[in-house]
Chains A and B, each alone.
Chain A
Amino acid sequence: MVLELRDLAITFRTDRGPLRAVDGVSLAVEAGRTLAIVGESGCGKSVTALATMGLLPPNARLSGSIRLRGREMATLAQPEWRRRRGREIAMIFQEPMTSLNPAFTAGEQVAEVLRLHERLGERAAFDRAVALLDRVRIPDAARRARQYPHQLSGGMRQRVMIAMALACRPRLLIADEPTTALDVTVQAQILALLDELKRETGTAVVLITHDLGVVADHADDVVVMYAGRVAERAPAARLFARPEHPYTVGLLGAAPRIEGGPTRLASIEGTVPDLLHPPEGCRFAPRCPFRGADCTRQPPLSEVEPGHATACWRAPLDRVLAA
């Protein structure tokens, strides 16, 4: 396993009391595979990624285990963590403009990473940077390497971020909504590029997204999160063929599809719970059409078929249909 999270919990101290953003998350990613973490705003998917990077803010408290290639990271102090993490994990974000330095050219920023990680000289690092920019399919890479971030399109900026990530030769690449800010034709290009790099380098990928269509086309395994907890975990094909958590069922029906025709979308009534005052038991219960008296107790994440687990007292859901 490249990455293994066990019973991860993250609590933020806030003015209004402790906020448990992540509550008992366990997951694992193997080399050469893509694990998608899917969920809506506030479900804890991005906080899980930041914790893995050792980038939590000072008001966060963490418990549980984060193992990177077998080594425990969660017990380390964050600076020590970041140093040990070194080249092993790289991350790309939704808005590359905020992660790139506007005062340096694209080539200089990639070269900087190479000088730190590969101890290359200035000239050699820049040449390698141009080669990397070409590798992530930036047309006319030698010219683009001398341009500043504001002179590049959104898609090209994201390619520069991917080139910087590649420069570290990471074992794990975390991509947090990497294409959410991009147009759909450019999104398709960037996701195909990430697939190709995963195949060629064997890096493990954690893809954080709200888009189930992206999951269907690009993930091997999926974790569906709701209000800080794992609702369902499955191989991607099984999640779509046989969803076993009511939230997953609702989410699949709520996403508008071009195959859908002018039909009514599934409606998950209400809103996500306030994590300062989460409901007792199953957090989805207040919005769940299948809820019952037992849902005031928290359901454990248990397997319904090999590799496919759900946290729902009603599972397998075929029983609901038979009733």
Chain B
Amino acid sequence: MTAPLLELRDLRKHFPLRDAIGRRRGAVRAVDGVSLAVPRGTVLAIVGESGCGKSTLGRLALRLIEPDAGSVLFEGEDLRALSPAALRARRRDMQLIFQDPFASLDPRMTVGAAIAEPLRLHRITPRAGEAARVAELLERVGLRPEAARRWPHEFSGGQRQRIAIARALASGPRLVIGDEPVSALDVSVQAQVVNLLADLIRDLGLTFVLISHDLGVVRHIADRVAVMYLGSLVEEGPADALFAAPRHPYTRALLAAVPGRGIKAPPIEGDVPSPIAPPAGCRFHTRCPHAEAICRTEPPALTGGAHLAACHLQDRLPPAPPLREAEPGGDRLRRLQSFFQPAGSDA
């Protein structure tokens, strides 16, 4: 196996809390010792509910914020060891796509200028070739080249997210991190953008980190999945194995809570505890239906080969509810849906 493109080693980030006169009063333990590796050309999804630390982890991976401890290796090189100039040069290899395309595009810049900005910043394309490169990027994301002369407000949410993707691709990055890139979109538009991302990942050989709370979206594009709870990884493994046979009770609860599976009883009760004072032992024990004495005192280690879980009881849990094989609409619905593929797409 080749060296991973991105490797996170024991990353930690606590955000200090201060009272009204500036004295330290504890800290939000956003990321608390996370290690992950992303092989070249693969898609890793980081999933979890709000406050689990997934977005903080994404920003640490790009060194947009500084970790308290741990290291980030890009092609084996520690990003924290780079000089500011060397880090700036590295930035063309790593890009971020945000959830809200309304906030991530400058309203005073034409679409063409927004996409050309990274080309100029990193001196990638000579000025003479810039317009052609912008046109090529727009077509790549399914927009017409004429869009370059227009302004962000003239576009719908889905089109703006396509523009944000074109801008992220402009510098020819090898790693793209998408932080909830399709969460703000309506279902029909979301499907278009999910399909586009899948095409781009395949055609450009991108390494992609998808940060998402939507397990359906994750299922459609991820090769591997990492599940976070209160700043720690609870499970990580190949997507097929993790969806078919989740090994951590929290992963099982997340999957059982996805609407549309015919499971009407809520899988777990209560809210996520505060990341300021996470529970001792296994952080999930306060909500876990299987918890035993050891879970309240001993933090479980992440164990297993290619499919890891941090649970003392992982080998003794009852089987998880099976995924439903067939959709109620069956073959008739599948045949009708086959008409909903754009002409020229290689489905």
B332 lies within 8 A of A268 (CB): no
Interface band, chain B? 35 or more
Instruction: Mark out the residues of chain A between 293 and 323 whose CB falls within 8 Å of any chain B CB in the assembled complex.
Output: 317-318, 320-321
Most chain B CB atoms below 10 A, which of A211, A253, A268:
A253
Is B215 an interface residue, CB under 8 A from the partner? yes
Is B305 an interface residue, CB under 8 A from the partner? no
B257 lies within 8 A of A187 (CB): yes
CB distance from A281 to the nearest CB of B (A): 20
Is B247 an interface residue, CB under 8 A from the partner? no
Interchain CA distance A256-B215 in the complex, whole Å: 8
Known: A188-B257, A188-B267, A243-B333. A268 touches B220 (CB 8 A): no
Most chain B CB atoms below 10 A, which of A186, A246, A251:
A186
Q: B residues within 8 A CB of A267?
A: 188, 191-192, 195, 340-342, 345
Q: Which of A184, A192, A211, A254 contacts B254 (CB 8 A)?
A: A184
Is A255 an interface residue, CB under 8 A from the partner? yes
A250 lies within 8 A of B188 (CB): yes
Is B269 an interface residue, CB under 8 A from the partner? yes
Interchain CA distance A187-B264 in the complex, whole Å: 11
B271 lies within 8 A of A211 (CB): no
Known: A40-B188, A264-B341, A267-B341. A259 touches B329 (CB 8 A): no
Q: Which of A41, A153, A155, A321 contacts B335 (CB 8 A)?
A: A321
| Binary B-proximity of A152-176 (CB < 8 A = 1, otherwise 0) | 0101100000000000000000000
Is A292 an interface residue, CB under 8 A from the partner? no
A261 lies within 8 A of B216 (CB): no
Interchain CA distance A266-B190 in the complex, whole Å: 10
Is A252 an interface residue, CB under 8 A from the partner? yes
Q: Which of A155, A213, A217, A256 contacts B220 (CB 8 A)?
A: A256
Q: A residues within 8 A CB of B220?
A: 256, 260-263, 265
A183 lies within 8 A of B262 (CB): no
Instruction: Mark out the residues of chain A between 226 and 273 whose CB falls within 8 Å of any chain B CB in the assembled complex.
Output: 237, 240-243, 246, 249-269, 271-272
A185 lies within 8 A of B268 (CB): yes
A289 lies within 8 A of B332 (CB): no
Closest to A184 in B: B257
B219 lies within 8 A of A262 (CB): yes
CB distance from B264 to the nearest CB of A (A): 6
Instruction: Mark out the residues of chain A between 110 and 146 whose CB falls within 8 Å of any chain B CB in the assembled complex.
Output: 137, 139
A259 lies within 8 A of B325 (CB): yes
Known: A156-B271, A262-B221, A268-B188. A255 touches B216 (CB 8 A): yes
Known: A183-B272, A241-B329, A251-B188. A258 touches B219 (CB 8 A): yes
Interchain CA distance A289-B50 in the complex, whole Å: 38
Q: Which of B214, B270, B345 contacts A256 (CB 8 A)?
A: B214
A217 lies within 8 A of B259 (CB): yes
Closest to B43 in A: A262
| Binary A-proximity of B172-197 (CB < 8 A = 1, otherwise 0) | 00000000000000111111101100
Q: Which of B214, B216, B271 contacts A186 (CB 8 A)?
A: B271
Q: A residues within 8 A CB of B341?
A: 264, 266-267
| Binary A-proximity of B117-160 (CB < 8 A = 1, otherwise 0) | 00000000000000000000000000000000000000010100
Interchain CA distance A283-B255 in the complex, whole Å: 36
A259 lies within 8 A of B324 (CB): yes
Is A212 an interface residue, CB under 8 A from the partner? yes
| Binary A-proximity of B322-337 (CB < 8 A = 1, otherwise 0) | 0111011110110111
A216 lies within 8 A of B329 (CB): no
Q: A residues within 8 A CB of B219?
A: 256-262
A264 lies within 8 A of B195 (CB): yes
Is B217 an interface residue, CB under 8 A from the partner? yes
Interchain CA distance A139-B287 in the complex, whole Å: 13
Interchain CA distance A206-B336 in the complex, whole Å: 29
Closest to A38 in B: B187
A253 lies within 8 A of B257 (CB): no
Interchain CA distance A168-B115 in the complex, whole Å: 54
B340 lies within 8 A of A258 (CB): no
Is B319 an interface residue, CB under 8 A from the partner? no
Is A33 an interface residue, CB under 8 A from the partner? no
A264 lies within 8 A of B198 (CB): yes
Instruction: Mark out the residues of chain A between 52 and 103 whose CB falls within 8 Å of any chain B CB in the assembled complex.
Output: none
Binding site for B on A (CB under 8 A): 40-41, 137, 139, 153, 155-156, 183-189, 191-192, 195, 210-214, 216-218, 237, 240-243, 246, 249-269, 271-272, 289-290, 317-318, 320-321
| Top 10 A-B pairs, shortest CB-CB distance | A213-B260, A213-B259, A256-B216, A254-B191, A183-B49, A253-B337, A266-B340, A289-B339, A40-B186, A265-B191
Q: A217-B264, A253-B337, A256-B217 are in contact. List 14 more A-B contacts (CB 8 A).
A: A155-B271, A188-B267, A240-B328, A241-B330, A249-B333, A254-B187, A254-B188, A256-B190, A257-B260, A266-B337, A267-B192, A267-B195, A271-B189, A321-B335
Q: List 10 A-B contacts (CB under 8 A).
A: A139-B270, A155-B271, A187-B259, A189-B266, A216-B259, A218-B259, A243-B329, A258-B323, A259-B219, A271-B156
Binding site for A on B (CB under 8 A): 49-50, 156, 158, 186-192, 194-195, 198, 213-217, 219-222, 239-240, 243, 253-272, 323-325, 327-330, 332-333, 335-337, 339-342, 345, 347
